[in-house]
Amino acid sequence: MSPQIQCRRCGTCCRKGGPALHLADRPLIEGGAILLKHLYTLRKGEPAWENIRGEVAPLEAEIIKIREADGGRACRFFNDAEKGCAIYENRPMECRILKCWDTAEIEAMYRRDRLSRQHLLGTISGLWDLAATHEKECGLDRIGRLMAGDDPDRGALARIMAYDREMRNLVTERSGIDPEILDFLFGRPLARIMPGGRFRRRFGPFGGSVSPDRAPTYVSDH
C-alpha cells in the first residue's frame, strides 16, 4: 500500500473534536464566520488530554476551542453524512495545517500564539470585566489547592461553586447575554468539570475533564 501523502477526506480528524484557536483565527470570529456560541474556553489550570504528548496535564494558559456537536466528540461543523466541513473556506489554522500522515507542522505550532478571551473581549469592557472577575473569583489553581487540602479555608470551595453558578444565572437573567456563550465567557460550569466519584479518584479534582476518551483536547488530532 502506497504511503498517504494527501487528505482522504475520511473525517476521522473532525470526529475527534474541534480545533483550538490561534491568533491567526481571530478574523474568523471578528468577521462572523465563527460565532462566540460556537466556542468554549478551557481555563488555565484545567486538566485536559493532550494528543501530541499523550498525557493529561493542567493547562498553563487558557485555550479557546470549537465546541463539539451535541452528545458527541465530533466538531460541531463536521457534516458526517457528507464527510465535510460546514465552514471549510473559513476553517481554523489547525485544521488547515494538520496532515494526519505527517504531524510535524502542527506539533511545531500547536502551543504557539493561542487565542484567548482577552484577545476577543479585551476591548468590550462589559464582557471582559465579567470574564476577568469570574476568573479572579473562580480560578482553577486555587480550586486545585482547596481540593488537595492545601488551603485551610474549608468553606471556600462551596462559595466558589455557588459563585460560578450564580454568576451564570445573573448574567443571563439581567443582562440578556445569550446563555449559549457562557461556556466561552466563563469556561464550562464548575459543577460539570468537577464531578466526584471514580473520575475524581482516578484523575484528581477535575477528573471529569480529563478522561482521554471524552476529554477536550489541546489540539484536534486529525
3-state SS string for 56-77? EEECCCCEEEECECCCCCCECC
Q: Judged by CB under 6 A, which stretch of 85-93, 121-129, 154-162, 178-186 contacts ligand SF4?
A: 85-93
Q: How far apart are CA 222 and CA 163, in angstroms?
A: 37
Q: How far apart are CA 21 and CA 219, in angstroms?
A: 9
Residue 209 contacts ligand SF4 per CB under 6 A: no
Cβ 171 to ligand SF4 shortest distance, Å: 28
Residue 87 contacts ligand SF4 per CB under 6 A: yes
Cβ 7 to ligand SF4 shortest distance, Å: 10
* Residue pointed to by grid coordinates 489541546: 218
Interface pattern 104-133 for ligand SF4 (x via CB under 6 A)? ------------------------------
Cβ 98 to ligand SF4 shortest distance, Å: 9
Residue 18 contacts ligand SF4 per CB under 6 A: yes
- Residues numbered 48 to 77 that lie near ligand SF4 (CB under 6 A) are 66, 75, 77
Helix (H) or strand (E) holding 168: helix 156-175
Q: How far is CA 145 from CA 150, 154, 167, 195, 204, in A?
A: 5, 11, 22, 16, 11
Residue 217 DSSP class: B
Positions touching ligand SF4 (CB under 6 A) are 14, 18-19, 66, 75, 77-78, 85, 87, 91-92, 95, 220
